[in-house]
Structures are given as structure tokens and as C-alpha cells.
Amino acid sequence: MSKTKLYHLPDHPPPPQGRRSRQSPIDRHAHAPIVCWPNGGLCIPVTLYLNALYSPGSRFKGNAGTLVTYAKNLSHLVRYCSAQRLTFQELDDNSITDFVIKLQDETTLKEHILNKARGSTQVRVIARRAFHFLIWLQDLFSIPNLISKSPSQPGQINLIVRRTKSKGYSTEFYDHPSLPTADTPKKRYPVTTPQIEKLFQVNIESSQSAYIKRRRAAMIQLARATGSRRIEMNSTKVADIRKANNEGSLSVTVSKTKKNKVREIPVLKTQLAPIITFIEGHRALLVKNTIGTENDPGNLFLSVRGKPLSDETLTNDMHDLATLAGIKILVCLHMFRHRYFTDMAFNMLLGIREFVERKELTAPTEQIILQQMRALSQHEDDETLLGYIHAAYKEAKAWDLGERLWKMSQIHDSMVTSLASLRTELARESVMKNSSVSTLLDEFGSLLSHWQADLDQVGIVYSDYSKKLL
């Protein structure tokens, strides 16, 4: 199956293969991704389906990653129907089985070795999204006997209805005899400091432009400092960063909720310093040379053309860096979120003397920490937060550090990654005898000043820092 992208967001240009000379009415009024056929024509059923799922103010809003993921998954069905010259209403059990087999058999070249393009779990996800779309299509256009969910009334495609209970809710989903058995779930662990250092290093050594390198570095810094979701990070404005640098708190609108929630994230100047440098340096230069300062959209992350970046680009950037770093385990932006909240839980545990003395995690202790973390994280699911608490409990080594030393470790972690990045840049520029070495040294001095200021803020005498941290 072709790898050509078949979908785009309403405020982005269509894929290169698109042949439409004018914007269609759906383009002008759509909020969700727009899906095309491989020949460039608009795929009206799938595009209407995605717009039907759109709901302002919910997790499906605008360019939310959820709807983009649905568009990506349904693109496989669009390609299949195009290749087989089938309309959606002509699909049956045999064609669904053939579709699933093709998804399983598709390969991709990775490090000069052919590998399966996707696992069994991903095949099931794609197929179930296709089922959901076909059921919607059948109901909207009153297509007789396309999908059957009852053995007593067979149809062209016969699904098996299954139900599961999770977090107190009963969920209905659809199965089909052709679907493979799901893969064993892979546990995602928080990203580690050595992994972050590797990401910074390979970013500097990569062949990307100076702007993209700085943008990727700012992405890692923001992910580490806030634990935000991908869409939340990509919605961050330059004004938000400047305000946070002055006030010590970054306001982030929570994306994965139907309520309009704002999360206030405590941030240190040390953490924001590299991001401010990116804003005032490479980002400002890009805006000046492309769209002009008066047309600056204000988004922190911009494409090389000065336009707002898509959420998927952040994911692709992180994937590319992890591949370059040779990190074998899955490293994605969400792992920075796991790291952030595990660290937060660790911080909360330090303040509970009952836990320290008894060396056990009791139900009352969990509730105290849950209440504090819920206020800071705006999580609606206590089960997720409990996972972070239990992870922090397992990692706990020294319970006599105290909250001030916890903040010192944050400052230390930020400085380690920043210094590693600067060290690599200085070595690279020195070899090339580039005049930008002096600029990097100025940046280094600025970082040290912020480091000192943050230590003063938490009441730590600089000379005692290393001794207390150890």
C-alpha cells in the first residue's frame, strides 16, 4: 500500500498528489481533517464522518490528535477500496478479510531490514475504526444489510459485538473473525535523563537546519518542564512563555476533557531560558525572513515557512531523534509526561512523614497525594495518577532529602541537559572555526545566571549545593 498521505487539516495545504484547483465547500467549512482519494479527489464520506465527530470544546476540537489519528487509520481503507475499485457499500466479509491480510502483510524498510509495517494490535485498531465508519455510513444513508451486528440477521459484513468494563464504564466494541489476536501490551516507562541527553546530542549533530534543531531542542525542554500533552504543547504561544518566565507559572488549557480546564504549571527560569533564547533568536529570524513580524501567528512552534506547526510534526520530530540516538525502547512525547508526573508523585511522597516512618504506602497516604496531584495535573482519572504514585514509590531511595532538595534536583536536571547540548555545539563550532562560538558562550553565561537565581529562590547556598545534592 502507498505511503502517500491522504489527509490534511482545513488550515493546511492539501497533500502533493491533490489535483483540485479550487478549495471545495467542505474545505471552507470543515473543522476536522479532510481525506482524499489516492487520485486527489475529495473522499466525501470519510470527511463527513470526521466532521460528524467534531465537537467544539471537547477532545475532538479542531486539529486534535484524535481526529487526525482516525483520518490516518481510515486512509488505509480508502487506499484499499481505490485499489480494488470498490465503493464502501460494496464491501463484504471477504473484502474485509482481504483488507486485514494486506494490513498484516505490509512491510517497511527500517535500517536496511524489511520489517512488518504494523503489529496485530494496530491492525485491530485500524479495522475497528473502519467498522465504526461503515456503521455510521449505513445509518446516514440507510444502506440495507451493509453491516450486521446480529447473527439472526446476516449482512454483507457480519460483526461480533463484545463488551468490556473499565473504570466503572461499560464499553461496546466490534470484532470480526478475520482480526488477529492482539499483541502483548507494551509498558511505557518514563524517559530517563541519559536518554534526554542523547536526544539533545543527536539533535545538534543531525543534518537538519539550525532553526529545526533549535525548535526540536525547545520541544524537548518544554516537554520536560511541563509534562504537557502533544496538542497542549503545540498550542503554546510565545506570549505564554514570556508570561511564565515573569510569573513562574505556565497556563496550559487541558485538551483531553470536555470541560474548559486550565492547568497552572510551576516552571523555573532555568527551564525556560533555552526556550526564550529560541524565541528571540532562530524563531524571530525565521518570522522576519518568511511571513514578516506583523504576520506572526504567535505560536511557539512554527514550520520552516512560518506557519503553525501540525501536532503530528512534533511526534515525527521526537521519533526521528529517538531513532538517531539509537534508543531501542519506545521514546515519545508522552513518556516525558510520565516522567513529569512520576517526579511530581515522588515530590509529594517526600512531604508525608507518616509514609517515611512506616515505610509503606497506605490508603490514606494515597488519598492525600491524589488530592494534591489532582489539583496540579487536572487529571480526571484517579487510576492514572495512582500509577504514577506507585511508580514513584518503587523508585524511592532516600526519603531524607526534603522538598528543597527535590527542587534542586529539577534545577540540576535542567542544567545537565542544557550543558550537554552546549558542550556538543561548542565542540562542533570549534572544529568548524565558526564565529558563533562567542554567542554560545554568552548563552552559557546566561544559563549559569538563571541557575544561580533558581538556587537562591529555593534558599540554597551555592557552595553547599553539590554536597547537599549528593
In a domain, 221, yes or no: yes
| Confidence (pTM) | 0.59
pLDDT 10s per residue in the chain (470 long)?
A: 446 789 887 765 555 544 444 445 454 455 688 999 999 899 999 999 998 887 654 444 444 567 888 999 999 999 999 999 999 999 999 999 999 999 998 887 665 566 788 888 899 999 999 999 999 999 999 999 999 988 888 899 999 988 877 656 677 888 899 998 876 555 666 677 788 888 888 888 888 999 999 999 999 888 888 888 888 888 899 999 999 999 988 888 776 655 567 778 888 888 888 899 999 999 999 999 999 999 999 999 999 999 998 888 888 888 888 888 887 666 677 777 777 777 666 666 655 544 545 555 455 555 656 655 665 555 555 566 555 555 555 555 433 444 455 555 566 666 666 666 666 666 665 555 555 666 666 666 676 666 666 666 655 554 554 444 33
CA distances from 299 to 240, 283, 307 (A): 9, 10, 9
306 φψ region: left (φ > 0), alpha (ψ -120 to 50), beta (else) = left
Cα–Cα distance for residue pair 265/273, rounded to 1 Å: 16
Contact by Cβ (8 Å): 197, 420: yes
> Does 137 fall in a domain?
no
Structural domain includes residue 144:
no
Q: Which residues, 6+ apart, have CB-to-CB distance to 152 below 8 Å?
A: none
- Strand 160-166 and strand 157-158: the pairing is unpaired
CB 257 within 8 A of CB 272: no
Residue range of the domain that includes 375:
193-469
* Rounded Cα gap, residues 277 and 315, in angstroms: 23
- For residue 377, is it within any domain? yes
DSSP 255-270: -SSSS--EEEEE--HH
429 located within any domain: yes
Q: 141 is written with which cell numbers? A: 444513508
Whether 201 is covered by a domain: the verdict is yes
* 160 close to 175: Cβ distance less than 8 angstroms: yes
Q: Give the count of beta carbons closer than 10 Å to the beta carbon of residue 321.
A: 23
Q: Closest Cα to residue 128, out of 70, 84, 64? A: 70
Task: Determine phi and psi for 108, rounding to 5 degrees.
Answer: -140, 150
CATH of the domain at 379: 1.10.443.10
372 domain-assigned: yes
159 domain-assigned: no
| Number of domains present in the structure of the chain | 1
At residue 188, the 3 state secondary structure works out as coil
- Which among 460, 417, 414 has a CA at the least distance from the CA of 269? 414
